[in-house]
């Protein structure tokens, strides 16, 4: 009976509290799904037009939100919804990119997202040729390989990496900058392999 009352009560909770509590009481996460499923779907349909693809993006997003709940830290001016929508957009762009690669893109993306997608593809360039990239990363010093992997392959923000390592954001940015330079230098000899279609 207590569980039922608590869950019933949870409908009134803030998103942030539900996310935190759902780690110990997974059924509470259904409240976030109920709140965000429809708006997420509307947002994704403006990027990925196929309803089945859009549905998969939304499901993947909820999975990522739940799995990464412990990485979410409330900050002033940055609500749960901002963090959740960032995950949604990145997941949608990844799916869109796959559709383009497989020549399954039938409609252009809404103009609102064209520039965001262009920026995103620049930052996700390392993701294009994963095998070659992994070989180059294996040759880099460990601290360089780790930040590049987290930032570009796993999509961690500078702040996320700083929180995880206990460093200042500026130090993380500087290391990523140096790591990119080292990556380019190592990759030069493998350029054809990394850039081949």
Q: What does pTM read for this prediction?
A: 0.52
Residue with tokens 């010093």: 141
Highest mean pLDDT among 19-33, 38-52, 80-94, 128-142: 19-33
Answer yes or no: same fold for 1-123 and 128-197: no
Q: What is the C-alpha separation between 95 and 87, in angstroms, rounded?
A: 12
Q: How far, CA to CA in Å, does 42 sit from each of 61, 74, 84, 105?
A: 14, 25, 14, 18
Asked whether the predicted pLDDT for residue 100 surpasses 50, the reply is yes
Top-level class of domain 128-197: mainly alpha
More confident call, 102 vs 92 = 92
- The predicted-structure confidence for 38-61, as pLDDT tens digits, reads as follows 999 998 888 787 888 899 999 999
Q: How far, CA to CA in Å, does 98 sit from each of 21, 51, 85, 148?
A: 35, 15, 20, 22
Q: List the chain domain ranges.
A: 1-123, 128-197
- The predicted-structure confidence for 26-44, as pLDDT tens digits, reads as follows 899 999 999 999 999 998 8
CATH code matching the domain that covers 1-123, chosen among 3.30.40.230, 1.10.238.10, 1.10.1740.10, 2.60.40.10: 1.10.1740.10
Contact (Cβ atoms closer than 8 angstroms) between residue 30 and residue 19: no
Q: What is the C-alpha separation between 78 and 15, in angstroms, rounded?
A: 12
Contact (Cβ atoms closer than 8 angstroms) between residue 99 and residue 48: yes
């Amino acid at each position: 009976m207590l569980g039922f009352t608590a869950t019933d009560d949870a409908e009134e909770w803030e998103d942030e509290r539900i996310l935190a509590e759902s780690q110990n009481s997974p059924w509470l996460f259904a409240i976030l799904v109920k709140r965000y499923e429809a708006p997420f779907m509307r947002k994704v349909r403006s990027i990925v037009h196929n309803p089945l693809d859009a549905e998969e993006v939304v499901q993947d997003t909820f999975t990522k939100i739940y799995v990464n709940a412990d990485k979410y830290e409330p900050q002033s001016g940055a609500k749960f919804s901002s963090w959740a929508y960032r995950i949604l957009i990145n997941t949608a762009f990844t799916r869109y990119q796959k559709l383009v690669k497989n020549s399954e893109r039938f409609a252009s993306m809404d103009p609102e997202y064209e520039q965001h997608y262009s920026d995103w593809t620049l930052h996700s360039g390392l993701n294009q040729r994963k095998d070659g990239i992994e070989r180059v990363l294996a040759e880099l010093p460990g601290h360089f390989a780790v930040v590049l992997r987290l930032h570009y392959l796993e999509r961690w923000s500078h702040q996320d990496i700083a929180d995880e390592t206990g460093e200042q954001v500026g130090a993380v940015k500087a290391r990523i900058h140096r790591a990119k330079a080292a990556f380019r230098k190592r990759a030069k000899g493998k350029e054809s392999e990394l850039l081949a279609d």
